[in-house]
Chain A
Amino acid sequence: MRNLRVFWPQNSRHNGTLIGWLHDNVVVIATVVESESNIDIHGLLEGHEKWLELKEGCRDTPVNLGRVHRSDEGFLSITFEDKALNGIKTHFVLYARPSLYYMQFYSLSPLQLDITIKADEATSNIASGGRLVQDILLEPGLRQEQCCDLRCITRQMNASAVVEAALNSSKQPPLPTSKPRAPSQAWKGTRQILRLALDSLFGICNLPLFIFDSTTRLKDVSATIQQFDVRLEQFSFFPSQVRLISTRSRKDIATYSAQYINFYNNVWLIFNDVVIGTAVGTALCENHQYLGQLLYTYTELWTVRYVIDALTWLDDWPVGLKLNTELSRALHLSFMAMTNIWGYALNAISGHLPLIIYLMGLSGSTGLTMILSLSSDLLSLLTIHIYLSYLVATTACHRILLTAGSLWNLFRGKRYNVLQNRLDSWDYSLDQLLLGTMLFTLVAFLSPTIVVYYGLFAAARLVTILMHALSETILAVMNHFPLFVLMLRIKDSRRLPGGIHFRPTKRADIQNALLTVKSVPIAFSRIFFQYLLLWGRLSSHYHPVRLIGHVATASFINPIPRYSIRYSMLPVGSTSPKEKLE
């Protein structure tokens, strides 16, 4: 041990008794006490409730280490209780005491804002980071067992403010421990009713729709129900979150801080949502007549008139393509019938469109997200005839393409072997060959017609899907934007620790100060971790190459399933919402 590193708190006095912890070649000073006499450290600290929570992480209680004296030039000199340490060259490493009340703390690993990951998974990455930093503090040639435990040192640094507060205050009466209140009967009753209401609402949202398949629920079909479900989930977790945060535990400061940040982020987002929603809602309510009229004209123009024009153009040898006349006429008449029926329906509800817009404006007081999801549902309702026509056209085109493929194989005398996933030569019988060849000629001449009609509806469907994607992106932004975290980052980055840096310093009052400990705030990629995930999912689903591939093979294009965009912000290990109310 040739060098001693002393972690010295900034803004502490320079003369007095040192209280701190001793490691092998590192000394962490918690505070400098002025009194000459031996104070009862143990007694004062054990009576302090907040210290008891931190004691386990700091390995043991701080002890009286010796005395410090500042010379006139500014050099601090320490005389240790343990005589063996005197005379060794000391280097001072300054650190600022973090205030645990404000949830500032040092941490070796970045703060895990994602509260859905279990704590023990997160802390497993610490060891490798700590080892690197230790090399700075070590002399070369020392064996690994003599390394200082940087994790312990950071915990001791975090606890230093509590130690100082405990020692500087005189003996105070122990704080009254809060007893859990016995819940009153009225509260129990209201809780039952609330639980029933929430249960039923959740049941409605998650209603499985058996007409599609057993995994499709009501909330997958409608954006409004999905938004409703998100809000319900958030509200049902509020009581437990509030209780957790009000305990103010210091023991696992990282997890507590993350939950605190997430809770207040959600609260702030909801308030923002409501404020903006009310503003937009009042704008909608005031202009509902005009907007209703506008909506009707544009919808009628785009979804009815243009579609009819396009269908008429297709029937009449479009672009010089010679389509089969009978088939083209049949398709044209059937799609035209569907569009005309929708035109009549649109005409019938045109009187109610201003009312719908007024209702949307009213719902804005519950948040802008509600307005957005209602408008997304309105869009899908207004283009429902395009959706149905697309469904029909896709099925027909897909079947025709499959048939053409398999008949082409028959034409060449081959068959697709499903067991081996390859084409084998196959001995067809004569009638199969004859009929197959004739059908192949038939399909070869009829498929261009069907493909052309499919192309029209596929293009229309792509446009609506992209509009849906836009509204879903905005919804995702509004539901999960980390406003609170960004504000913390700007205002007080010590609450978002991402590691420690040691900077060389020169200070006038402490001449033998060598390094300063600085906390590094977490990177922006961690703040926006949800967004990176969401962006990955959105871009992979709406990737242009994938969409074009789907159009080319006439597969069904569906909007992204809503459950994959909605990122659940609930802590892991949480039980079902019903039990959370207790």
Chain B
Amino acid sequence: MTNTNTAISRDEKDWQRVLWKRLPYPDNYVPPTHFLASLRKNANFTPYTYGPLVLASTSVCQHVANIFIFLSVFLRLKEHTSNPRFIVWLAILLFCVGYVTWEVLLYRQGGTWTRESRSRVMRSAILVFLALLSLAPVLKTLTEATSSDSIWALAFFLFTLHTLLADYTAPRLQESRERLTSVLSMNAAISAAVVLASRLDSDLSVFALVLFSVQMFALFPLLRRRLFSTPAMFRAFITGILSFASISLMSAHSSMAGWIVLSALLFITFVAPALLVWAQRYKNEIRGEWDVAVPEVG
């Protein structure tokens, strides 16, 4: 062993990691200075900055605000403070506004829609409308036998699932499919809406609530992904409107609820990004030559 040690100190500069030459040191020898020299810490690390993070968390905020708007509509319908017809017209109005916005954004981004896809959208919209109309009486008596507490618990669970699994990322440049988790989140939200709607009294209110929930939970997330390409001010503006609407609607029922919604939204928008930025200092990602290589394309 000693003569290899002396051999090593001499050939440190001549050390090569090749196996096709007969070298004086063993095959797996690495000199101490070279050892773990290729270790990189936090190599591709660009730390989050506060501003863009806040902007990105506005989508989470919109989602949560959506849920609270829906809950307040449900409470109004349950206590008969709103007219179900008004809700139906509101839902139809929202559909038209959203459709127009979609077309405008599409035009701005340069993509066009064929007539075929437009007619398909119209067809499926009418189909869903009519199907809801016919299913509403059946849905009304669905959970008559179950107690209210189980229904609230079930709805809470389903809405939590919806919030956790929703797709908050920006869409990629090319048109790609919805991810699986976003399908599950949408299904969970629709189920929660159906379950809550079965607590209502009249067929029309059931229909109104379910139609409204379809607008809120199925169509609005699609629109929101499109909105990522608009300037930041516009997105912040939309978020502000939604939050304000949710807070005011909820506080109309009870001030406690209004305060809860306000604090939740503030937490999500401002406090959580700060926490994330603060936690970046603990990031410790190690990469080296032993990892899977990342190809550089282009």
Contacts and interface: CB of A to CB of B under 8 A. Distances in A.
Given A411-B187, A431-B127, A433-B186, A438 B145 contact: no
A425 interface: yes
Nearest to A321: B145
A264 to B, nearest CB: 69
B139 A438 contact: yes
A386 B82 CA distance: 51
Contacts of B131: 435, 438
Nearest to A440: B191
Contacts, number: 72
Given A434-B218, A438-B135, A441-B195, A429 B141 contact: no
B163 interface: no
Most buried by B among A317, A324, A438: A438
How large, as a class, is the contact surface on chain A? 20 to 34
B255 to A, nearest CB: 33
B200 interface: no
A427 B177 CA distance: 8
A386 B124 CA distance: 44
A434 B194 CA distance: 11
A87 interface: no
A157 B241 CA distance: 113
Nearest to B219: A430
A404 to B, nearest CB: 14
B191 A435 contact: no
Nearest to A411: B187
A431 B129 CA distance: 10
A431 B210 contact: no
B191 A445 contact: no
Interface residues of B, number: 29
Contact of A428 (B183, B191, B218): B183
A427 B178 contact: yes
B142 A325 contact: no
Nearest to A431: B124
A413 B144 contact: no
Contacts of A580: none
A434 B146 contact: no
Contacts of B177: 427
Given A413-B183, A434-B214, A442 B141 contact: no
Interface string A300-320: 000000000000000001000
A435 B177 CA distance: 20
Contact of B139 (A427, A430, A434, A442): A442
Contacts of B178: 427
Given A434-B214, A442-B139, A445-B143, A425 B180 contact: yes
Contacts of A61: none
A425 B180 CA distance: 8
B145 A323 contact: yes
A325 B194 CA distance: 18
Interface in A391-446: 411-413, 425, 427-431, 433-438, 440-442, 445-446
Interface in B131-167: 131-132, 135, 138-139, 141-146
Contacts of A433: 183, 186-187, 190, 218
A436, A437, A440 interface centre (most CB from chain B within 10 Å): A437
A324 B187 contact: no
Contact of B190 (A323, A412, A437, A446): A437
A324 B141 contact: yes
Main secondary structure of the interface of B (DSSP, over half): helix
Nearest to B121: A430
A389 to B, nearest CB: 24
Contacts of A326: 141
Interface in B87-144: 124-125, 127-128, 131-132, 135, 138-139, 141-144
A446 B146 CA distance: 12
Contacts of A325: 141, 144-145
A405 B191 CA distance: 16
A537 interface: no
B184 interface: yes
B207 to A, nearest CB: 12
Given A425-B180, A433-B187, A441 B142 contact: yes
B135 A324 contact: no
Contacts of B190: 433-434, 437-438
A352 B281 CA distance: 95
Contact of B180 (A413, A434, A442): A413
Contacts of A436: 187
A433 B190 CA distance: 10
Interface-centre pick from A325, A412, A413, A433 (highest chain B CB count, 10 A): A413
A431 B214 CA distance: 10
A578 interface: no
Given A413-B183, A438-B194, A442-B135, A431 B128 contact: yes
Nearest to A412: B184
Contacts of B125: 431
A501 interface: no
A322 interface: yes
A322 B128 contact: no
Contacts of B135: 438, 442
A433 B222 CA distance: 14
Given A411-B187, A430-B124, A442 B146 contact: no
Nearest to A439: B135
Nearest to A428: B183
B194 A429 contact: no
B167 to A, nearest CB: 12
Contacts of B124: 429-431
Contacts of B195: 441
B128 A445 contact: no
A258 to B, nearest CB: 69
Most B CB atoms within 10 A — which of A322, A326, A431?
A: A431
Contacts of A434: 128, 190, 214, 218
A434 B128 CA distance: 8
- Of A325, A427, A430, the most chain B CB neighbours within 10 A belong to A430
Given A322-B145, A322-B146, A435-B131, A442 B138 contact: yes
A437 B191 contact: yes
Contacts of A435: 127-128, 131
A24 to B, nearest CB: 77
B142 A442 contact: yes
Nearest to B120: A429
Contacts of B132: 438
B80 to A, nearest CB: 24
Which 4 residue pairs of A and B lie closest in terms of their CB atoms, listed nearest first? A322-B145, A431-B124, A413-B183, A437-B190
22 contacts: A323-B145, A324-B144, A324-B145, A325-B145, A326-B141, A411-B184, A412-B180, A412-B183, A412-B184, A413-B180, A413-B184, A433-B187, A434-B214, A435-B131, A437-B194, A438-B190, A438-B210, A440-B187, A440-B191, A441-B194, A442-B139, A442-B142
Given A413-B183, A442-B142, 13 more contacts: A325-B145, A326-B141, A411-B187, A412-B184, A428-B183, A434-B128, A437-B194, A438-B131, A438-B139, A441-B142, A441-B191, A442-B138, A442-B194
Interface of A: 317, 322-326, 411-413, 425, 427-431, 433-438, 440-442, 445-446
Interface of B: 124-125, 127-128, 131-132, 135, 138-139, 141-146, 177-178, 180, 183-184, 186-187, 190-191, 194-195, 210, 214, 218
